[in-house]
Chain A
Amino acid sequence: MSQTPQTFAPVESSDPMVVPKRVAMVRPDTRPTIRRREEKWVMTFPHLIIREVIMFMLVVIGLAVVALLFNAPLEGLANPLETPNPSKAPWYFLGLQELLHYFPPVVAGVVIPGLVVVALVVIPYARINLVAGPLWSGDRKRLTTGITAVTGVLVILFSTFQCWAIVVPSLIVAAAMFLARSEGSGGSFRRFLALVTLPEWVMTWFVLVAAILTIIGTFFRGPGWSLVWPWNMYPPA
């Protein structure tokens, strides 16, 4: 082996016979790890693991502090003969309990929650959720009539039950949708609104309604499920 080692020099060429190119065959059903542009990758240990440990510690410390400061509620021994007044479910069901005030139990207790679960499950399978662009990029005339019609039906439907907690957010969301119509003009908030897609509008409406119902049920319902201020919830007996 007396040969001198060959020196290597980088070769630049567009000929694939000289410089091999990486080719990826991507079928629609393949795994999604292939991207058009290479990204920067880092080692999971330590970069991700250390962040997970810190997050774990912060959450546990936060919970411990809250547990030290606030006591979990405990009322008197359960008495099947005496309904406390008001009688409330845990907070995440108070939106539902608030609905029960307006609608027959089969609607508020079975139909509406059932529809919500079905709607959540079908989200990734509905085409509209996969391809939707900004709301007003579609047929503007049809959208105008569509939004007006749907809002009108919702407002009339819920007004007959006097369920203003749904009517008002519906009107607000519809107004915001029309505010987004004048794209390109206005401040940064209006330009942001113009980019919102139809599924996002619907979800925002749902979250707004759920949040308002839950807040009313939690803070503004007193004895006999009557409307009260939060500081009057438990009147002196």
Chain B
Amino acid sequence: MSSLTLSTLTAWVRNSAVYRSIIRHGVADTNRNRSLVIFENLFLHVHPVKVREKTLKFTHTFWLGGITMVATFVLFATGILLMFYYHPSVPQAYRDMKELMFVVDNGVFYRNMHRWAAHLMVLGAMLHMLRVFYHRAYRPPRQFNWVVGVVLLLITLLLSYTGYLLPWDQLAFWGVSVGTNMAKEAPLIGKPLRFLLLGGNIVSENALLRFYVLHCVVLPAVLMLFISVHIWRIRKDGGVQGPPEKDPGEEVEP
């Protein structure tokens, strides 16, 4: 029996029946196995097995969509952590903020991370949209994915806005008061919509609970749905589209 080294340990794990029941392909040293890495994995198979080499260049997309996506992952992770300490009621919500900041270990860190990742997500989505516009990547066959992107931007803004109320501090209360009064000005539907959204005529405990449910359940679910469509369509529409070709003759056919 050989002595225990990292490589023998790895080999032992890779050859074990349990590992082979989870991952059926061998080491990714051949192109066949590298293909299997992608399409035998639920999470990686949104990718094609091969990609055009030039799409890997940083300036092709500036990774803006990817950065927004990472911010979203961070928001899910930190958001779930914050939910363990948060009660959507008045004034307990504000006390929970204080508890997070002064009592809970790493509470400040995760709250900060959630807040800054939210800003990054909004900024990233906006810059991603501008990048796609200036690269003219909205052109056929990507029209529909552009529209999905606009919906995603709106969901992102709504998520950020509903989250803004949750700390129940002065900033939150008046930011949301002003915003929902804006909705009141919409003809016909404005006032009933605001009443339903706030669960009353003023920003109160009902509004806090409603914004909490929207922020933690409804909007994230809708976001995941549209992100799935968005990413699936990137692949169906022929991969990421970078800057337009210098020579129009080399453009995509349709």
CA of A92 to CA of B147, assembled, Å: 20
A21-73 interface with B by 8 A CB criterion: 26-37, 39-49, 51-52, 55-56, 59-60, 63-64, 66-68, 70-73
Interface residue? A100 (CB, 8 A): yes
Say yes or no: is A20 at the interface (Cβ < 8 Å to chain B).
Answer: no
Q: At the interface with chain A, which of B2-10, B13-21, B113-121, B217-225?
A: B113-121
Is B192 on the interface with A (CB-CB < 8 A)? no
Which residue in A34, A105, A117 is a CB contact (below 8 Å) of B253?
A34
Highest count of chain B CB atoms <10 Å: which of A70, A90, A96: A90
Number of A-B contacts (CB under 8 A): 219
How close is A46's CB to chain B, nearest CB, in angstroms? 7
A177 CA / B97 CA spacing, docked (Å): 51
Stretch at the interface among A120-128, A160-168, A180-188: A120-128
User: Size range of the interface on B?
Assistant: 35 or more
Q: Which residues of B contact A40 (CB under 8 A)?
A: 52-54
A32-B51 CB under 8 A given contacts A72-B116, A78-B168, A78-B170: no
Q: How far is the CA of A33 from the CA of B62 in the complex (A)?
A: 22
Complex-state Cα separation, A90 to B163, whole angstroms: 11
Q: Known contacts being A48-B56, A64-B113, is A100 close to B182, with CB within 8 Å?
A: yes
Residues of B within 8 A of A (CB): 28, 31, 34-35, 37-38, 44, 47-54, 56, 63, 66-67, 70-71, 73-74, 90-91, 94, 97, 101, 108-117, 119-120, 122, 126, 129-130, 133-134, 136, 138-143, 146-147, 150, 153-154, 157, 160-161, 164, 167-175, 178-179, 181-187, 190, 202-203, 236-239, 249-250, 252-254
Selected A-B contacts with CB under 8 Å, 28 pairs = A31-B236, A31-B238, A34-B252, A37-B250, A42-B52, A45-B35, A51-B56, A59-B67, A60-B70, A64-B109, A74-B167, A75-B169, A77-B91, A77-B170, A80-B173, A88-B175, A90-B161, A105-B181, A106-B186, A109-B185, A110-B182, A110-B185, A110-B190, A121-B147, A123-B133, A124-B139, A124-B143, A124-B147
Interface contacts beyond A48-B47, A87-B175: sample of 12 additional A-B pairs, CB < 8 Å, sorted by A: A32-B237, A34-B252, A40-B54, A44-B44, A48-B56, A74-B101, A74-B169, A78-B173, A82-B170, A88-B175, A105-B181, A121-B147
A residues sitting closer than 8 Å to B (CB atoms) are 26-37, 39-49, 51-52, 55-56, 59-60, 63-64, 66-68, 70-80, 82-84, 87-93, 96-97, 100, 105-106, 108-110, 117, 120-121, 123-125, 129-130, 200, 203, 207
